[in-house]
Amino acid sequence: MNKYFGPSTLVAAAFIGPGTLTTCTMAGVQTGYTLLWAMLFSIIATIVLQEMAARLGFVTQAGLGEAINQQFSAGLARYLVFFLVIGAILVGNAAYEAGNISGGVLGLHLMVGEFKLWPLVLGGLSFLLLFFGKYKLIERILIALVILMSICFLATTILVKPDWSAIFSGFVPSGINENFLLIMGLIGTTVVPYNLFLHASTISKKWSSDATLKDIRIENAVAIVLGGLISMLIIITAAASQGQVEAVTSAKDLAVQLEPLFGSAAKWCMGIGLLAAGLSSTLTAPIAAAYAAQGLFGWEKDEKDIRYRAVWMLILGIGIIVAMVGLKPILIIKFAQITNAILLPFIAIYLLYISNAKKILQQHTNSLFINIIAVAVIGITVLLSLKTLNSVFHFF
C-alpha cells in the first residue's frame, strides 16, 4: 500500500490547503452543486499535468527547472522563457504563500481570537522550520490533521443527506458566464503551478531505478483523485448549508458546514484544519520556488546554499507582508487562487513542450492521447484566463 503513497501524496496535501477549503466552501454556498463539473475538470487537468512532471523527474532524475535550463541553453528564447517562468513562480508562489498564511490566521481567529501579528508568528515558525530543516516531522503531523479533517467532511456529507440527483446534475457544465471567477478559483486551488516543479524535483527521492512509469502513474492518479474527492466533499457539505450562510466572509462562515456533525465544536475543528492546512502549505510553496530557481540557474543541489535559502526567504517574506497589510484573509486567498489559474497556462505550455522533447525524454515523450488531453486542458485554461482578465481589467 505504501508503494502508492509518495511525492504525489505531498502534491495532493499541498493543494488541500486553506485555499481549497475557502474556495470550495464559497462555490458550495454561492452555487450549490453547480460547479462540481469544474472540480472534476481540475482533477483531470491535475492528473495529466502532474503525470508529465513526475515522468520528467523520474526519467531525467532532475527537476522541471533543470529541464528548462537544458532545453533553452542560449539565445533570445532562453531569456524569454526564464523571464516568464521566473515571473510566474515569483508572483504565483508569493500570492499562494500569502493565501496559506492568511488561511492559518483564519484558523487561529476561530480558536483564540484576532491578533494583528498572527501572520508574523506563523511566518516566523515557518522560517525556523525551513531554515533548520526540521519541517518534515511537523509536516507529517499537519498532513495527518488535514486528512483527519477530510474524514470529518466525509462523515458530515453522509449525515446531511445531500440531494444526490442535484449532485449528479452538477457534473454537467453550466454557470460559466456568471461564475467564471469561482471556476478560476477552483482550478487555481487544485492545478497549482508550483506543484509541477515540486513533483519533478522530489520524484527521484521516492522511486528507485527498478520502479516503472506504471507505478508512478498509479501513485499519481491515486493521490490526485483522493485530493479531488476531498475538495468535492467540501463543496457538497457547503452546498447543504445553503440558507444558513449567504456568503463566505469570515472563518465562522467556513465552520458552519461542520455543525451537523460537531455542533458548537465545529469552529474548533475548522480552526485546527485551517491552521494545519495553512502551515503545511506555507512550507511547500517556498521550497518549490527554491527548487525551480535552483534548476533554472544550475545551482548546486544543496538546501543550505545561500541562493536557495534566499529564494524561499523572499517568497515567505512577501507572503508575510501581504498577509499583514490589513486585507481580509478571504480576499487574499481568493486572489491567490485566481492568480495561479491565470499563470498556469505559461508553466503548462512549457511542460507540454519539454514533455515532447526527445532530447530530454527520449522514448518516454508524451503519447498522442496525453498530448490531446493536455492541449485541451491548456486551451480551456487559457480561455478562462482571458475571460478573467477581461472581467477584472475591462480590456474589452
- Domain of residue 266, CATH code: 1.20.1740.10
Segments forming the whole domain that contains residue 361: 2-393
CB 286 within 8 A of CB 133: no
Angle, CA 220 vertex, CA 215 and CA 222 arms, to 5°: 95
Cα separation of 331 and 336, whole Å?
9
Strands (E), 95-219: none
Please list, in sequence order, all residues whose beta carbon lies within 8 angstroms of the beta carbon of residue 320, skipping any fewer than 6 positions away: 101, 119, 120, 123
pLDDT band of residue 396 (cuts 50, 70, 90) is very low
The residues pairing with 245 across neighbouring beta strands, listed in sequence order, are 242
pLDDT of residue 207: 62
Q: What is the pLDDT of residues 356-366, one digit of tens each?
A: 988 888 888 88
With the C-alpha atoms ordered 34, 40, 42, 45, is the resulting torsion angle positive or negative? negative
Q: What integer pLDDT is reported at residue 67 of this predicted model?
A: 80
Q: What is the mean pLDDT of residues 216-229?
A: 85
Average pLDDT score over the chain: 80
End-to-end CA distance of the chain: 52
Contacts of 228 (CB under 8 A, 6+ apart): 39, 40, 42, 43, 46, 190
- Give residue-wise pLDDT tens across range 244-294: 666 666 667 777 777 877 888 888 888 887 887 788 788 888 888 888 888
What is the SS3 assignment for 6? coil
Specify the pLDDT at position 170: 92
Question: Whose CA is closest to 238, among 160, 166, 183, 165?
Answer: 160
Cα(299)–Cα(306) distance, rounded to whole angstroms? 10
**What confidence score (pLDDT) does residue 1 get?**
46
Nearest to 249 by CA among 29, 94, 95: 29
pLDDT in the model for residue 68? 79
C-alpha cell at 346: 505559461
Q: Total structural domains in the chain? A: 1
Q: How far apart are CA 359 and CA 265, in angstroms?
A: 57
The whole-angstrom separation of Cα 394 and Cα 396 is 5
From CA 107, how far away is CA 136, in angstroms rounded?
A: 21
Which is more confident, 143 or 46? Answer: 46
Give the tens place of pLDDT for each residue, 47-83: 999 999 888 888 888 777 888 777 777 777 777 777 7
